[in-house]
Amino acid sequence: MIKLNGGKSINNKSIFVITSVVLLLLLVVGAVSAQSDNATDSYDTSDVMTSDSNAQSTDSTDSVVEKAKSNDIKKDTGKVTPEVIVKNKTAKTNTSVTLEAQLPEDASGQVLFKINGLTIGDAFRTNGGLVKYDYNIPIYSSKNYTINFVYGGNSKYEATRSEGILSLTKLNTHATIKLNRTSLAQGESVLFSVNIKNELKNGIQDAFVIKINGQSIGSNKTGSDGNGYLYYTIPSTYKINNYTVQLVYGDTNTALGKRVNTTLRVNNPTRITLNGIAKTQTSGVLKLKSKVVDKLRNNVTSGEVVYKINGITMGGSNVTNGISEFEYQLPLYSPRNYTITALYGGNRYYKPSSTNKTLNLIKMDSRLSAKNNTIVISADNKLNISLNDKFNKSIDNVNVSLVVNGEEVAKYPVINGVAIINNTLRDVNSTQKVNASVVFEANRFYEKSTLTLKVVNPTKITVNAQDTKTTKLLYINATVLDSLNSNVTNGKVYFYLDNKLIANTTVNNGAASTTYRLGLISGKNHNLTAKYIGDTYYQSSNSTKSVNILKLNTRITPVNVNITAGSYNKTAVKVLDELNNPVLTGILSLSVNNKHIGNFSVRNGTSNVTFISSNNDSNCVQNYSLQYVENNYYNASTATGILNIAPLATVYVSPNGNDNSLGTSKNPYRTIAYATRHVKEAGIVYVNPGQYSESNININKSINIFGVNSSNVIITPSQSGFVFNNSNSTANMTIVNMTITNARINTANTSAIVSRGPLIVLNCNFENNQANVNSSSSSIYATGYLAVSSSTFNKNTAKSNGGAITALGHRVIIINSKFTNNTVNANDVGGGAIYLNSANTTIESTIFTNNNVHGINVTGGAIKKVSGNLTLNRVNLAYNTLTGSGYNVGGALINLNGYLYIVNSTVNANNVSSSDNCGAGALYSQNSATTIASSTITNNYAVGKNVFGGALQNFNSYLSVSNTNFTYNNALATRGQAVGGVINQNNGSIKIINSRFHKNSIKGNESYAAAIYFIGSNITVNHTQFNQNVANATAIGGAGALFVNANSSITGCNFTSNQALGKSNGGGAIINAANMTANENNFISNVATASASAISNTGKTVNINNNYWGSSSPTWTKLIRGVTKPSKYYTKAL
């Protein structure tokens, strides 16, 4: 009895049963897994080996059971280790084997056998010697296993273990395969029944494959009883033959594989059917179609069908998808019934089959034809008539008949398929319609056929007409007779005049008459053609005759005509014919004072006659005559009238013209000067494209001078002096679409265009004009109202104020124009493009670029204005410059005494430089009110010894700025002070709102205010950004943004990253020297090299409460100087 944990005990028999059940479960699991080579688990010897300690008392110290439970058998150095030999064994799985171990003869004690470490039975007693144990092998995989033998020892021998090999081999297999049908056709199914068992007659559950003639057709799996099944449908590709069916079962872990063969017979019967056979004409094409199917009514896919007629083979065709189609050209068999046989010959896949049907053979159709089937009454006719069967084969050795009005008149033989018909067809009544045909009568083999002939009757026609005049009625008569001179009784006649269809009418008893209203045709003989259009019986005919058409007489209705001298007047003159109808075409010849003027076309009774006076005729009366010129349709006529001549309103000029011409667009003057003298007050001079060399054209009346195109109408004066000079202050002068170039002005108070009265310049170009004396301008000198639009001023030069334009004392408007590369080179002057004095001026949508003034004390690189108001709207001032020495100010513009308004404009990259002092890189205002709104002022700069205002400099002025950007402006002092990177203003007041000062800079020995420097009365700055402006001084200075010595109010602004750099600079954002209120502002990241990165104060009353200082806990000693820290401030940015 063995004690278990917990105190319970079990006997050896119970242990053996439990052990066996566990082992059996493990072996079953191993057998089920055919992929595993090891179906058992290793258990330690001490866990499975037990002994009956009650039955054994040979070892009083340590029982065999206790020794067997230990993995390590303890060694007693006083005992002998026995020699143990375990014999190797070979057996088949699931059979029995006797395990043997050899001990010494006196090695008695407990022993135990194991397989792969698993106990296979109870320990038992041995007296030594050969130990045997009968073992029933479970279903193990066929491989080698370890036989473990455990000896418990006794008083002489130590306990010990030893091992041997048990080699298991696979069981033999017995397999069978049965077919439910051993013979079947393509498309039929067969059931294969499979039984697979081992040599112990146990069913094998595993996969099997069935092959036919070595090709696998499918696989399945047997059940636990060894039975399996597989269905298979015979494909159409199998031939009629015996096939070897093979069952293939592969080796498993416990059993050997097996291949078993049997035989399958494929035998596929067929059935052929013929479609219905249509009646077929002898010698025609027989069309046959048969259908061949197998036993399962599937279409046969291969083989040939042979066709026979009354047992005679006609031919054959292959079977495609069950269908065989065959065509056969029959010989000329006698029409009757024939037997048609269709024989399917079979092949390796299908058995033969055949069927019969009856063919009803009938006569062949015949056909008569002719390339020309027309036969003419009373003419030598020869017709070639062809006779063929349905398949266009010739029919020979027969006759055809000519039948006229139902009676046979002649027979003609057919030779080589052609019958030649010769007949004059004279003995007929031509007044009645004649019918004729060719007939072939039926015979034994061919059916009857008829060819209807076209019978025609020739005709002849004559035509007559009375002479008449063009546009009148033409009376026409025609007669139509047949070939026997009988009147033609029907049909139509078409009449043509000079091959143009003019009328048609029906023939009545041989006559055809009509009338036609003539159009305007030439007065001469014309060809009149009558064409009789026949029908199926009467032939067509035609004839032509000449008819004389006469011209019409004419008369002219004259009118009195008023025209302007040097111009023309188109007057409608009526011309009628003798019937008072409008003359449709022709020419009127005009002569004035017996001088031929020109010819004019007449259309529909009217001629637009152009009356032209000579240049020197004015306020006079002249006689004219008009003559209608005879032509192909009308006779000549003459009339006279009166011509009243008034001054000119519009004239034309062309380089190819003549000053002795009429001044019209077709006959222009040659010179502009002549044209201006011969146009009336407020008249227009049109100047055609070309080069003109005129100059010194004096004008003292209102006039309009219009060029056709400004790029093509070019005036290049050949002499110095003005081009146009309006000396009348009440006269308006308008100049449009012209280019004036290379004018040379050598007289004071003049220019290329001089106007004392109102002047309008539109779409003109002024280029390379030069004013070489004081008080003159190169292009325009206006002392009256001036308006300029869509014009360009390029590369003009002067030696006094106004490189291109000088305007004095009156209103000026400039729109949509360009001023480029204009220059002034003199001292104490300005306005590289424009000089305005006491002229209220508006400039819109205009560009000023690259204009320059060079000299000493020069001003206004593009514009100089003295007194009066100036408005700039959508204006671009760019790259204008002042250069030289002395005090130069206003790189783009100078405004002295008056109002300056700049809106929606761009002031960019203008600059002023001087070897001395300078200021206002862009704009200079003095004693004025300046407003700048919604504009951009950028990249302007000033360079000099001392510089005041990188962009703006104001003196005694009021400045208002809103919604404007000031960026990248710069003031650079080469030796002294740089004051105001953007704005420098002394005296007056400033108001700035919603604007931006960004990355402006100043640099000098002393530098003050990178953005605004102001000394005056009041300054207000609201909601404006001051960002990254830099004041850089090598010595002293300050104010990265603002320097203010005035009463100031600064609200809602941002001062960010502004810098005051240098040895002794303060006020990174602001230096204040007067009373200041700064509230609701942000001071962030501003820098001052010396002190006060935000505000440096030397003023009196200062309120800097309620600002944000860049931190929630500002360091006041760094931020401000000269002012008490605020009592209130924000801890977050506003």
Residue 883 has pLDDT above 70, yes or no: yes
| 987 in Cβ contact with 955 (< 8 Å) | yes
Q: What is the DSSP string of 1056-1097?
A: ES-EEESTEEE-SSEEE-S-EEEES-EEES-EESSB-SSEEE
Higher pLDDT, 61 or 304: 304
Residue 64 has pLDDT above 80, yes or no: no
3 state SS of 66: helix
| 320 in Cβ contact with 302 (< 8 Å) | no
pLDDT of 148-189, one tens digit each?
A: 999 999 999 999 999 999 999 888 999 999 999 888 887 889
Q: Give residue 501's pLDDT.
A: 94
Q: Give residue 55's pLDDT.
A: 32
> Which tokens in the block code for residue 1072?
């204040």
Higher pLDDT, 710 or 390: 390
E-strand stretches of 282-397: 285-294, 304-309, 312-318, 323-329, 337-344, 353-362, 366-369, 374-376, 381-389
Residue 11 has pLDDT above 50, yes or no: no
In one-letter notation, the amino acid at residue 1083 is: F
Q: Give residue 4's pLDDT.
A: 29
d(CA 176, CA 210): 12
Q: Give residue 659's pLDDT.
A: 86
Higher pLDDT, 46 or 764: 764
pLDDT of 347-389, one tens digit each?
A: 888 889 999 999 999 988 999 999 999 888 888 889 999 999 8
Query: Predicted confidence band at 885 (pLDDT cuts at 50, 70, 90)?
Result: very high
3 state SS of 15: helix
Of 40-49, 580-589, 613-622, 1017-1026, where does the model show the most confidence? 1017-1026
Q: Give residue 803's pLDDT.
A: 94
Q: Give residue 614's pLDDT.
A: 67
Q: Give residue 67's pLDDT.
A: 38
pLDDT of 566-595, one tens digit each?
A: 667 889 999 999 989 999 999 999 999 888
> Which tokens in the block code for residue 707?
């060029």
Query: What average pLDDT score do residues 27-45 get?
Result: 33
Q: Give residue 10's pLDDT.
A: 34
pLDDT of 1101-1124, one tens digit each?
A: 999 999 999 999 999 999 999 999
| 157 in Cβ contact with 75 (< 8 Å) | no
The values of phi and psi at residue 970, to 5°, are -150, 140
DSSP classification of residue 1126? P
Residue 565 has pLDDT above 80, yes or no: no
Residue 5 has pLDDT above 80, yes or no: no
Place of tokens 């069935």: 210
E-strand stretches of 723-790: 724-726, 733-736, 739-741, 744-745, 753-755, 759-762, 765-767, 770-771, 780-782, 786-789
d(CA 819, CA 834): 9
Residue 686 has pLDDT above 90, yes or no: yes
Residue 74 has pLDDT above 70, yes or no: no
Query: What average pLDDT score do residues 1000-1019 get?
Result: 95
Query: Predicted confidence band at 1 (pLDDT cuts at 50, 70, 90)?
Result: very low
Higher pLDDT, 121 or 1053: 1053
Give the max Cα distance, the chain: 178
pLDDT, mean over the chain: 88
pLDDT of 1055-1072, one tens digit each?
A: 999 999 987 778 899 999
- Cβ-proximal residues to 387 (8 Å cutoff; 6+ apart), any chain: 366, 367, 368, 394, 395, 398, 400, 414, 417, 418, 419, 440, 449
Question: How many angstroms separate the Cα of 59 from the Cα of each of 77, 84, 486, 963?
Answer: 15, 20, 166, 118
Q: What is the DSSP string of 527-589?
A: EEEEEEE--SSBPPEEEEEEEEEEPBPEEEE---EEEETTSEEEEEEEEEETTSPBP-EEEEE
What global pTM score does this model have? 0.50
Q: Give residue 602's pLDDT.
A: 94
3 state SS of 85: strand
Q: Give residue 58's pLDDT.
A: 32
Query: Predicted confidence band at 283 (pLDDT cuts at 50, 70, 90)?
Result: confident
pLDDT of 731-742, one tens digit each?
A: 999 999 999 999
Q: Give residue 616's pLDDT.
A: 62
Q: Give residue 991's pLDDT.
A: 98
Place of tokens 């206004």: 860
Query: Predicted confidence band at 61 (pLDDT cuts at 50, 70, 90)?
Result: very low
pLDDT of 964-982, one tens digit each?
A: 999 999 999 999 999 999 9
d(CA 505, CA 496): 12
- Cβ-proximal residues to 505 (8 Å cutoff; 6+ apart), any chain: 492, 493, 495, 512, 513, 514
The values of phi and psi at residue 1117, to 5°, are -65, -25
Query: What average pLDDT score do residues 1037-1063 get?
Result: 94
- Nearest in space to 80 (alpha carbons), one of 23, 188, 172, 153: 153
Query: Predicted confidence band at 8 (pLDDT cuts at 50, 70, 90)?
Result: very low
- Cβ-proximal residues to 1111 (8 Å cutoff; 6+ apart), any chain: 1131
Higher pLDDT, 3 or 748: 748
Query: Where is 622: in which H helix or E strand?
Result: strand 620-628
d(CA 238, CA 799): 116
Query: Predicted confidence band at 28 (pLDDT cuts at 50, 70, 90)?
Result: very low
Residue 988 has pLDDT above 90, yes or no: yes
Please state the three-class secondary structure of 792-832 as a single string: EEECCEECCCCCCEEEECCCEEEECCEEECCEEECCCCECC
| 991 in Cβ contact with 963 (< 8 Å) | no
pLDDT of 439-458, one tens digit each?
A: 998 888 888 999 999 988 89
d(CA 1021, CA 999): 18
- Proportion of the chain above pLDDT 70, given as a percent: 92
Query: What average pLDDT score do residues 74-92 get?
Result: 83
Please calculate the CA angle 1029-1035-1036 and round it to the nearest 5 degrees: 65
Q: Give residue 445's pLDDT.
A: 87
- Nearest in space to 1102 (alpha carbons), one of 1080, 1073, 1082, 1130: 1073
> Which tokens in the block code for residue 817?
């124009």
> Which tokens in the block code for residue 638?
């003459």
d(CA 974, CA 943): 7
3 state SS of 990: strand
Query: Predicted confidence band at 950 (pLDDT cuts at 50, 70, 90)?
Result: very high
